[in-house]
Structure 1
């Protein structure tokens, strides 16, 4: 477990979301930073997510009244102050003692949904008490009874949608974690699961990630579209399919009643050489045009202008993963809240400079491709 971060003073507060990466790295043990920052195998997709964003440019409009900008959105069925939800990230207590409690409170203060992961280190009841708008991310467990128990618990906690992660039949080969023989410290556990394979995440073994080993025991690699239909008939929550990159998969998810898909390569942590999420986004948006199924983007978002770019390419909103955790690691709830506040300020600023008073105008912006990136955010 990492000690609480030293609170940041006003004079040392970062001026951009990206600046929080260095603060988080300094606050975390090296193996925990690697677990957060790393990707699969040679980390090509991890790097490509940012390179793809850096190759995109916006074509701003002018002479529009931007004296007031409206960033509010409806994501799935949840009202949000920004077109942003905090993405599911496992084990927030790896990064700060308060874990998901702190990040959920920060999301509530920002007025954005907070996604509770299957591998959350805080339970539903405590998270519901934060007042955050909760979503629930579901990994497909081998034990269907246990899976349905999790869904029922999410419903009872007031979760407003169910995100089924579709791109993890098993965990990608994350070489940093294997080299570190990464295992959870004793004080960090999967609070929504009990006993069994969940305990094996704490047992270090040379050249093996204990977290990967226990995840392999928990998750089913045999899940199919038929299983998704089976689940749809057993929950009252709106269904979201996360991990979609192919337009045909997006259309099939909509056919099965999904109310949204998340275009995501899991932050570069699954198939190395998977297409960057933002590159896949336009084709998925086109495949779902005119259908009652939103398109959200995950992987590589680091700034308000990234959010605006995603909206221009057809997304309704984005999921924010690593940057929210950078803030949590740097300064707990206050750090996570400041990351979200910076993102909001960056988005409002970018909207105005692009000639957009609201998100509908942002969706009409044109984009252009640059020949090569000139710089790259962390």
Structure 2
């Protein structure tokens, strides 16, 4: 937009363009949550699809409401506890006057914040929603919907909102102020969700008959559709995190193409060597793995290093999803193997290959130390609190369905619906 350089309104126009892109990017990220629902839904039993998808849609409803009421203020507000969490009801919060909860007045139209502010509020809301939805894959086929919603609300409030403050509230959160590079959520989204998924898998225990190869995806095309929606929306996830139309957004976009493409290849090579066949589920999982790994690093890697990241992450995560069978925890849909391991790998990779800050360019391990410190702090915080929340829910209202309902099917037992209601005739 160089032709605007001599125009006195150039700054206003650029601001409007940036806000427009942020609103479009927010819509792209929001569609990722139904993408998660399809991706997960195709891999569970045919009699668990409604339950699986409802956990994502439940997250959209609950976290969307909490974000407007107090989530944005906790994640991006001023005041609060310095370095740790914002004050949700600080008057500088652009939603403070729009919630209608604090006697704001009778004319909301006169109190609307600037467009870029509200665009950013909406964009970050979609991050909170999908982070919670990602956790659900670890407890597929055996969780009560009501218990899941209670967990989602509590975990979102005391884990995601503060962690988003640490990472995304630039200059205010401790991780951001320390110099940690997490452009679009390797720590706040993927490590956070992966650690919580591991905790819940341990709390709920194994599915009936859990062992390698016993439960196949019931609908492969549904999973491929979900992976496609995820990749499509992820361009908004990564490129939109720049909150501007500029060169950083462009390099993030290119890396969001390069890394998952390479990760598909990496996953399929390892899968072919390991299992003798390259599968479509493997291709979809590889693509998601590459997207996870590039998320924290998409702004600071050249496309060549992005390709290498994707290739290595695809192969690594294809191997690490087997850990659940060796270690004995039932992470139903590989939230740990893909999101936790992929997020860790991408976050640490920056400390070595990040342009201008990594070991290759600086000869120093300083950035790697910062990346590791933030990654493991988020992982530990999320795991411990998720385990505590999940355990309390399990021992009070019950988190896991009964064995009888699990055998009969979660969909009919919990929701009274069937995924595929065929005519008996």
- What's the TM-score once normalised by structure 1's chain length? 0.29
- What's the TM-score once normalised by structure 2's chain length? 0.27
Larger Rg: 2
